[in-house]
Amino acid sequence: MQNLKDKVALVTGVGRRGGIGAAVARRLAADGASLVLADLCDAPSSLPHAGHGAWEELTFIAGELETAGAPVLPLRVDVADARSVAAMVAQTRDRFGRLDILVNNAGAAIGPLPVLQMAEEAWRKTLEINATGTFLCCKLALPLMIQGGRGGRVINMSSLAARRPKPFMAAYAASKAAVLALTVSLAQEVGPLGITVNAVLPGDVDTPMKQWGLQMEAAVTGHSHAQVVADLQARIPLGRLATPEDVANLVAFLASDEASFITGQGYNLTGGREWTGQ
Domain 8-203+243-273: homologous superfamily in CATH? NAD(P)-binding Rossmann-like Domain (3.40.50.720)
| Buried residues in 263-272 as b, exposed as e (16+ CB within 10 A) | bebbbbbbbe
Residue 208's pLDDT is 80
Question: pLDDT tens-digit profile of 197-256?
Answer: 999 999 989 888 878 777 877 777 788 888 878 888 888 899 999 999 999 999 999 999
Name the band, by pLDDT with cuts 50, 70 and 90, for residue 31. very high
Q: How far apart are the first and last CA of the chain?
A: 34
Taking only the tens place, the pLDDT of each residue in 53-87 is: 899 999 999 999 999 999 999 999 999 999 999 99
Answer yes or no: 172 catalytic: yes
Spot the catalytic one: 96, 135, 168, 172: 172
Closest CA to 75 of 171, 7, 180, 90: 90
Taking 80 as the threshold, does the pLDDT of residue 2 lie above it?
A: no
Q: Quick one: CA dihedral 86, 92, 98, 100, positive or negative?
A: negative
Residue 98 burial (10 A CB sphere; 0-12, 13-18, 19+): middle
Q: To which H or E segment does residue 154 belong?
A: strand 152-157
Q: Where are the domains of the chain?
A: 8-203+243-273
Per-residue confidence band for 1, with pLDDT thresholds at 50, 70 and 90: low
Q: Which helix (H) or strand (E) holds 189?
A: helix 170-190
Q: What is the pLDDT of residues 142-197, one digit of tens each?
A: 999 999 999 999 999 999 999 999 899 999 999 999 999 999 999 999 999 999 99
Q: What is the pLDDT of residue 277?
A: 65
pLDDT tens figures, 117-140: 999 999 999 999 999 999 999 999
Are residues 208 and 19 in contact, defined by beta-carbon separation less than 8 angstroms?
A: yes
